Each structure stands twice: as C-alpha cells, then as structure tokens.
Structure 1
Amino acid sequence: MMTSIFRAGLLAVVALLAGCVAPQKSNLDYTAFRESNPASILVLPPLNSSVDASAAAAVLSQATRPLAESGYYVIPVGVMDETFKQNGMTTPDEIHELPAVKLREIFGADAALYMTVKQYGSSYAVLASSVTVEVDAELLDLRNGAKLWSGSKKVVQGNNNSGGGLLGMLVQAMVDQIVNTLSDRSYGVAGMTNNMLLSAGGSGAILYGPRSPHYESQQAVTTR
C-alpha cells in the first residue's frame, strides 16, 4: 500500500516538473542546416502574441548571447534596429514580411532568426502565482529563404506556497503576484527561455556555428 502511494506521488512530481519546461522536438532534419552552414545570423524583432507590450523587447535583448556563445557572429541589435528605422520600418510585422534576399542585401548575414513570443508575464490562480514565457523560433537561410531549423520553448516558474494554511497560501500568492509584476521576473525567465531555446548542443537545438570549438567534431557526426 505504501509503495503504491509512493509511486503515485513520484509520478505526480515528475508530471509537474515536465509541465514546467516543455521539451524541444528531437526529430528535426538538419540536412538543409548543414548544407547552408551559416556563419552569421540576423535576429529580427520578435512578433508578440502575448498581452504584455514589453515582451518582444525583453526577448530580443537576450536572444543574441546564446547564439554568439554557440559559435555565430550575430548582427548587433542596435545596428539592426537603427538600420530598419532609417528605412522607415518600425514594426516587427512589416519587417518579417521583407524578402530574405533583401535582408541579405542589407545586412550581409547568412541566416535570420524569426521569433514569436506566445506567452509572457505573471499570472495569479487563487493559491499560486507563476511566471510564464513561451517563444517559438525559426531560422531561415537568407540566400534562398529555406528553413534551416525551428524550435519552441515554454518555461513556467512558479512560487511554492505550501505553508501557512489556506489563508496564508492565498495571501502569499497575492504577494508573489505583486512582486512578480513590480520586479519584472518575466525578464529573467525570458533570458532562461532564450538560453534553452537558442543554445546549441541539446536535443532539437540549433547546430554549433563555425566560431565554436565544438564545430569540427559536430561536422563529423551523422544527423539522426
């Protein structure tokens, strides 16, 4: 009896942890990615499907680092932003509609990263407060428009309000929601989401770029 209860509790914990971080797809075909062999990436302003107006800026500002650490030269965000402004383009929607060859002509990058922020921000659910960030990403070859890679990551960071009885849990959840909003914990969770989504080396992740020390050994590995 005790063994059955323990197993049930263990399965519940595993299910809860699995729900906190959605896994990436691991059955991707890297043939086009390897043939393209991009060395430089242009990160475009993300589309924002969340209710928080600051979501796109938060995700964009933390997207270049994991790509650079994965071995790519990344066009600086400031250069990208100013270039588009000088050409009268200020919204992500119109920027995402530009032809790949045009972006290649302007920035000289081999590939472009298109992102969409699906969820961003904190939520209050009676006994718990949590911060959720979900981002979809797609890497396109700017020389021919071919899709090289796509991925998605969702991170949910909750607060543990298990102590203090029902009233204490209610009060703590409300306090956590206020703290999450005022301190913008979503920004930190966005950085975590970007690192998990855009760092090379994991299952379903992008490949290492030419500037990475792992690049040569990666080239010799056959894609599953």
Structure 2
Amino acid sequence: MLLGGKMPRLIIWSECQFTRLALKEIVSRKLPYVTEVMFIGSDDKVNLCTRDYLIIDPSGDGFHKCYEFLNEHNSILEPERVLIFSSEVDMLMLDLLFKKEFKFLKKKRYLPEISSAVEKFIQLKNLMSDEDVFNYKITKMEEKILVMMMSGLSVKNISNILKLSVKTISVHKCNSLRKIGVDAKSSSGLFFFHKHVVGNRAVLQKSI
C-alpha cells in the first residue's frame, strides 16, 4: 500500500460537519498510518493528483458543488480511489454523468460497517457484498435521456435533439425515474442542473 514509503493523501470532501467528524474519528482510530488527511468543502481549493484518495459526500444541497469539484478534476481521478458516501440515487447520477464506476458506500450504515469499508477502500479492496449490489436495469436510451435531463434539457429539447416524439421521450423519462425511485412530479428537485451552469455541452457530448 505504501508508495515510495509514503501514504498518499486522503481528501474528504463534504458540506456536512457530522460527516467530517465521523470520518475524522474513523481515520484516527482505524487508519493511524494515514498521516495526511484533508477535510475540504466547496469553498476550499485543492489540487488533486492521481495517487490521492477521495471520500466525497454529495448529499443534500452540496450535490451540484460536488459535481463541479469532480468535473474540475475528472481527467486525473482514478475511480478506484474515489469513494462516494451517499445514497444510491446520488451514486447513479454521478456514474451516469462521469461514465466512471466509483466506489460506493451507503450513508445509512452502522459505524463499525463504515469503519471497515473505509479501511477496505484505502487498501483498494472491494467494498460491496452481494447484498449491497444494486442494479436499476436502466436501458441505454433511458440512461441517455436521464443524463440529458440532468443537463437541464426539457422533454421537448430532448425530442428535437434525438428526433423522437415528445411522447416517446416522456415514456423513457417516466420509466427511468420510476426505476430509480423518483416521483416524476417532483423530479425537478433531483435534477438540479437546470438551475446551475455546469457545462451542458460537456454533459451532452458524453450522452449522445
């Protein structure tokens, strides 16, 4: 694990103070050999390198800031060194947007489970048991439309771009939202991208 005799940095990104405190306690007790730990939020600047480990909590109002942070460092991130500490829906959204399979840890876990998972993460081991594996069974078209929705495009916009009827796009939209457990009537709360400038062009290039 030690590269050149020195443990790479562990960077913890979260807007939640409770998450920071819990992870700080876990690292200090379970991972005393991790000597360089940084706790950062959206207002902090840090230059990541490929050897860094990143634990990131995108929950709540911090999701769009998390996206911007990951997008800024996307070219140098190694997915196996990124742990998303969140809900399954947050994880799915980030996987679709970045086309990378980051490691994932559900927030609603007991402390010993979280502690063990963080240790496995640092050791670059598999975190998930067979019971933890989730599969929304989203089709390629549903995935494409989901990403385009997250970029801020309306059903009509997507219809024009993909040359499909509004009804067809709406069906795919409703199916994808149903599969990830989101009520279509309240989906604007999840797909926050229409309120933020987050690089629509880059997102669209990945999805089309």
Same fold, judged at TM 0.5 (above):
no
Larger Rg computed on CA atoms: 1
Range of TM-score over shorter length: under 0.3
TM-score by length of 1: 0.23
Choose between structure 1 and 2 for higher RCO, CA contacts under 8 A separated by at least 6 residues. 1
Q: Which has the higher helix share?
A: 2
